[in-house]
Structure 1
Amino acid sequence: MEPRKSPGSAPGSTPGRLVTTTAALLRERGFHGAGLTEILTASGVPKGSLYHHFPGGKSELAAEAVRQSAAGMVAALERFADRAGSTGAAVRAFCDRYAEDLAASDFRDGCPLAAVAAESGALHETVRREIGAAMELLVGTFARRIAAENPAHPDPAALAMEIVAAVEGALLLAKALRSTAPLKTVSERLAGRIAAELHPRGHPA
């Protein structure tokens, strides 16, 4: 699944500022914690402009922030995988980056997808649908990488789902405990598990 393009959302544009600000607040506070007034104040955008670009208001804006956050995560994952040369090393690099970001933000920032997904029972359908699509995009990206690394793997999608579930869970736990230990533990265990599955005869991962 490819991330959908959204017109008029360049970083310096009015919708771009709104989306960037919203994504940052979602990472820190989730959907319900990110107030519309705060979004407008932080982005420097008047309320009328928001509804001009996002007629659906906060829900449409949050859905776009989720879409772009997912696309950014996938782009980062692809870069890590290309540089690392293996899925296991890419997962380790991905977790290391998140651990650095968490520590740098004093454990305020997390993953916008996980933060919003935790509120799924009380979300507008527009946002809930985009969260589902974003998670599917992440799982699909890992599955494609797994299949490319070991075409004989019996179930790339299942392993990919396990990776995404473990990393997203570790992010939530790390934020709650104010410790990067969950991310470090999960990254090391996952890297070993992935290497063992993709290279069962001890070939380099």
Structure 2
Amino acid sequence: MDTKSQLINTATALFQQKGYKSVGLNEILKACNVTKGALYHHFPNGKEELLIACLHDLNEAITTDIKTIFKENLSIREAIRSMIDKLVHDFESDGTLSGYTFSSMVSEMATVSEPVRNACSALYENIQHIFYEKLVTEGFSSESASEMALLMTASIEGAMMLCRTQKSTDPLKTVAKLIPNLLKSF
């Protein structure tokens, strides 16, 4: 793995585990076994630029994963169930949802930094768009698909945050049970 990728992967994991503000550059450098010069070579503007790179990397990984799940499942109900089942499995086996959640970074930094807010917003928009497209292909009106995609995104992201705070997969399991019922009512 090249140095830039190593910095992004390590920083992403640390930011998700501890929060952006709790992770110092020295901790990232030590975990990567690289110098400050190497970090500033790849990220001349420092830690915030590294965070934005982490968010872009998460955006790509998460949207690719969701798109794959949605292509493999014919209906929105099956796709959502499969996506949430994957999250539950990951949480139960790893004790975390680190690959999917970035809400801790959003809550810490989105009001402080416009570039970070924009990177976070882009990820949420991508997730909603994937949901939206699947809903439209199943016959939902554009307006209903847009509303439901927002509700699904907020519900799943909120459930992931609750899973982390409660150390339980129950919130995700509840959302997995309720979303199909909501889809029927739209």
State if a TM-score over 0.5 links the two structures.
yes
One-letter amino acid of the counterpart of residue 98, structure 1: L
Matches within 5 A, 1:99-138: 99-107=88-96, 109=98, 111-120=100-109, 123-138=112-127
Structure 2 CA distance, aligned partners of 1:26 and 1:177?
19
1:182 has 2:168 as partner: no
Alignment TM-score, normalising by the size of structure 1: 0.82
Residue 28 of structure 1: which of 9, 13, 17 is its match? 17
d(CA) in 1 for partners of 2:77 and 2:97?
A: 27
Q: Counterpart of 1:203?
A: none
Alignment-derived partner of residue 30 in structure 2? 41
Q: Which runs of 5+ in 2 are unaligned?
A: none
Cα offset for 1:197? 5.0
- The counterpart of 1:51, out of the listed 40, 47, 70, is 40
Instruction: Return the TM-score normalized by structure 2.
Output: 0.90
How far off its partner does 1:144 sit? 1.6
**Percent same amino acid among aligned pairs?**
28
1:139 aligns with 2:134: no
SS at match of 1:155: helix
Matched position secondary structure for 2:34: coil
Q: Is the 8 A contact 2:97 2:160 kept in 1?
A: no
2:64 corresponding residue in structure 1: 75
Q: Check 1:90–1:182 CA distance in 2 against 1; reply closer, same or farther (3 A cut).
A: same
Secondary structure in 1 matching 2:56: helix
Distance 1:98 1:121 in 2: 24
Report which stretch shifted further, 71-80 or 162-171. 71-80
Deviating more after overlay: 104-113 vs 170-179: 104-113
Which structure is higher in RCO with an 8 Å CA cutoff and minimum separation 6? 1
Measured in 2, the distance between the counterparts of 1:162 and 1:20 equals 30
- Give, in whole Å, the separation in 1 of the partners of 2:97 and 2:144: 36
The alpha-carbon deviation at position 125 of structure 1 amounts to 2.5
Which has a greater percent of helix? 2
8 Å CA contact retained: 2:62, 2:100 = no
**Total equivalences in the alignment:** 186
* Distance in 1 (alpha carbons) for counterparts of 2:182 and 2:106: 26
- Report the CA distance shift for 1:143/1:108 in structure 2 as closer, same or farther (over 3 A): closer
Which residue identity lines up with residue 39 of structure 1 in the other structure? I
The corresponding residue for 2:146 is: 157
Give the drift of 1:55. 0.9
- The whole-number CA distance in structure 2 between the counterparts of 1:64 and 1:148 is 33
Shift of 1:72: 0.9
Name the SS of the counterpart of 2:126 in structure 1. helix
Question: In the aligned structure 2, how far is the partner of 1:108 from the partner of 1:29?
Answer: 13
CA contact (8 A) 1:95 1:183 kept: yes
Deviates more, 1:48-57 or 1:24-33: 24-33
